[in-house]
Structure 1
C-alpha cells in the first residue's frame, strides 16, 4: 500500500491526470520572447547600452518569438512525424534545427537590411546593423530550446504509450 504524502493534505497539492509532458506552442513562443528579452535587457542596463535595451524588446525578443513560432508549427506539422526526426538521436535533431534556425535568421537579416537600405537610404536606423547579430543568434537559441522541449515531450509521450501497450 502506498503511503500518502503529508504535504498533499496540508498544501492542497493535487495531481490531475497523467504526468506526461506536453508541448504547448503558445507557452513556448511567450518564453522565447521573454527569456532573451529579459537577459538582453539586463545586459543593456548593466553596460548602459541604450541600443541593447531597445534591441532586447524589438529585434532580439521579436526574432526569437517568431522563430519559435515557425519551428513549433513546423514540428507540429508533418515534419514532426517523420521517422528520421523521431528516430534520430536527440542531439542530432536539436543540432539540425538549431543550424536551420541560424540560417533562417541570417536570411531574415539579409532581407531586412537589404529592404531597409533600398527604402531608407543613408542608414538612418541604427538598429539595422544589429540584425546581423540578433536574428541569427535569436534563431539559434529559439530553435534549440523549442526543438529540445518538443523532442522531450515526444519521447515522453511515445515511451508512455509504449508502456501502456505492454
Structure 2
C-alpha cells in the first residue's frame, strides 16, 4: 500500500477561489516582519519609548522575519516529511519548534553581543541590550505561528487527499 505524503501540495499555489489552505513562505515571512513591527511600534508610540520604536523596525521585525524564513525552509525540507513532525499532536510539534526558535534566538543574541563587543570593545551600544529580549521572543512567536499555520495546511491538504482517494 502506498502512503500519501502529507506535505505534497502544501507549498503549491492554487487557483483563486480554491478552498484548500496553502502555506506560502513569502507571505509568512512578510507577516512575521510586519505584525510584530507594527505592534511594537504602536507600543513604542504609546509609551513614548524611542528605543522600542526603532527596535520594532530592526531587531523585533527583522528577527521575526528571519526566524519565520528559517523555520519555513526547515519545514519545507526533509524535516517536514519526518513521521513525528506530521504524526505528532499539533501542540507537541508547535511546542518543540517554539522552544527551538526561542533557543536559536537566545543563541543569536549571545552571538550578536559577543561579536559587537569584539568589533567595538569600548563602545556600548544601547540596541545590543535589546537583543536579549527581542531575539528569543521574536524566535518564539515566529516559530509558533509559522509551525501552527504549516501544520494546519498539512492537515487540511492531507484530509482533502484522503477524501478524494475514497
TM-score of the two chains, using structure 1 as the length reference: 0.89
Shift, 1:91, TM fit: 0.2
Query: Residues of 2 paired with 1:128 and 1:66: CA distance?
Result: 18
Q: How many residues align?
A: 152
Structure 1 moving runs of 4+ over 6 Å: none
Query: Residues of 2 paired with 1:101 and 1:136: CA distance?
Result: 7
Name the SS for the 2:95 alignment partner: helix
1:75 is matched with which residue? 75
Query: Residues of 2 paired with 1:114 and 1:135: CA distance?
Result: 14
Query: Residues of 2 paired with 1:160 and 1:60: CA distance?
Result: 37
Distance change >3 Å, CA 120–CA 148, structure 1 → 2: same
Distance change >3 Å, CA 49–CA 21, structure 1 → 2: same
Q: Deviations over 1:26-83 (max 9, x none)?
A: 0000000000000000000000000000000000000000000000000000000111
1:46 is matched with which residue? 46
Q: How does 1:12-161 map to 2 (within 5 A)?
A: 16=16, 18-161=18-161
Q: Deviations over 1:109-144 (max 9, x none)?
A: 000000000111134311000000000000000000
Name the SS for the 1:129 alignment partner: helix
Structure whose alpha-carbon radius of gyration is higher: 1
Gap runs ≥5 in structure 2: 1-14
Name the SS for the 1:30 alignment partner: helix
Shift, 1:16, TM fit: 4.2
TM-score of the two chains, using structure 2 as the length reference: 0.89
Name the SS for the 2:22 alignment partner: coil
Name the SS for the 2:34 alignment partner: helix
Q: What CA RMSD, in Å, does the superposition of the two structures yield over aligned residues?
A: 1.1
Query: Residues of 2 paired with 1:37 and 1:26: CA distance?
Result: 17
